[in-house]
Amino acid sequence: MIKSNLSTLMGSKRLKVIDVAREIDVNRNAIDLLYKDEAKRVDIEVLDKLCKFFECTPNDILVFTTEDK
């Protein structure tokens, strides 16, 4: 299973979903689904923008785990 760590990244910087969405010019819903770890797919462009914004790699946002949800 792949999990999203976006909520942790955003929490460490005290950012809201709408703030990130506006800053990187991405639909709020795309960020909200990643934030809630409910996304079924991730657009590479969104992932790229998030990595640039947070100055991180995709491994910091998406993590593979063997645990069930």
CATH number at residue 23: 1.10.260.40
Q: Hey, how many other C-beta atoms are within 10 angstroms of the C-beta on 31? A: 26
Per-residue pLDDT of 8-63, as tens digits, reads: 999 999 999 999 999 999 999 999 999 999 999 999 999 999 999 999 999 999 99
31, 38 Cβ separation under 8 angstroms: no
Is residue 18 in some structural domain?
Answer: yes
Q: How confident is the model at residue 7 (pLDDT cuts 50, 70, 90)?
A: very high
Q: Which two structure tokens, joined as six digits, stand for 4?
A: 């999203």
Residue 54: per-residue pLDDT: 97
pLDDT at residue 49 in the model: 98
Q: What is the pLDDT of residue 69?
A: 55
- How many separate domains does the chain show? 1
Residue 69 lies in a domain: no
Q: Exposure pattern of 7-19 as b/e (b: 16+ CB <10 Å)?
A: eebbeeeebebee
In a domain, 34, yes or no: yes
- Structural domain range at position 35: 2-64
Residue 30 lies in a domain: yes
pTM of the entire predicted model: 0.90
